[in-house]
């Protein structure tokens, strides 16, 4: 039989003291009740272990199925994505799954493309809200360039004389 922890032993002793104060229970009665209590606790522990084992088996089965599907190519190819979002975001929530900043996830390629796009959009939003141009590329900025008959090359209008 397993050793009884000290805290439980102290509680059982307290029960014994209270039972002795009444004088109604004999030593055999107390021992029989203690044995019932031990059986009850043993049953609860066995049930808890059985439940925990079933949960672990279900989780392992889910992972094994996912791995086998990946090996069989049922869901296409996978890619590793490291989440790097702007300072105004801590995570990306996509289809009920939270992808935290700084962590690397193995996801299907379609999800990887979406996550990369969302990460880019967080930086664009941060630039836009802080007064900088939304994108740093020159194609989005007005250029004000003209072609002059005197100079067939492109000339910036800021350099032209004001008439």
23-81, pLDDT tens digit by residue? 677 778 878 988 998 999 999 999 999 999 999 999 999 999 988 887 787 767 888 99
Contacts 24+ apart (CB under 8 A), 80-84: 80/104, 80/105, 80/106, 81/105, 81/106, 81/107, 81/111, 81/112, 81/115, 81/116, 83/115, 83/119, 84/119
Task: Give pTM, 2 decimals.
Answer: 0.44
CA angle at residue 114 from 109 to 120, to 5 degrees?
A: 125
Pairwise CA distance, residues 77 & 93, whole Å: 22
pLDDT > 70 in the chain, percent:
76
Sorted by where each begins, the domain ranges of the chain are 1-75, 77-142
Interacting residues of 143 by C-beta distance below 8 A, sequence separation 6+? 156
């Amino acid at each position: 039989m397993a050793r009884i922890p000290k805290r439980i032993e102290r509680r059982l002793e307290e029960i014994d003291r209270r039972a002795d104060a009444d004088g109604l229970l004999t030593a055999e009665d107390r021992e029989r009740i203690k044995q019932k209590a031990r059986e009850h606790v043993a049953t609860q522990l066995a049930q808890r272990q059985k439940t925990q084992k079933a949960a672990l088996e279900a989780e392992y089965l889910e992972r094994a199925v996912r791995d086998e599907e990946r090996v069989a190519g049922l869901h296409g190819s996978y890619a590793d994505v490291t989440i790097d979002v702007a300072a105004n975001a801590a995570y990306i929530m996509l289809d009920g799954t939270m992808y935290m900043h700084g962590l690397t996830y193995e996801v299907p390629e379609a999800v990887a493309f979406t996550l990369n796009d969302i990460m880019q959009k967080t930086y664009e939003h941060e630039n836009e809200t802080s007064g900088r141009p939304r994108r740093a590329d020159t194609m989005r900025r007005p250029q004000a360039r003209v072609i002059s008959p005197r100079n067939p090359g492109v000339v910036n209008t800021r350099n032209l004389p004001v008439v």
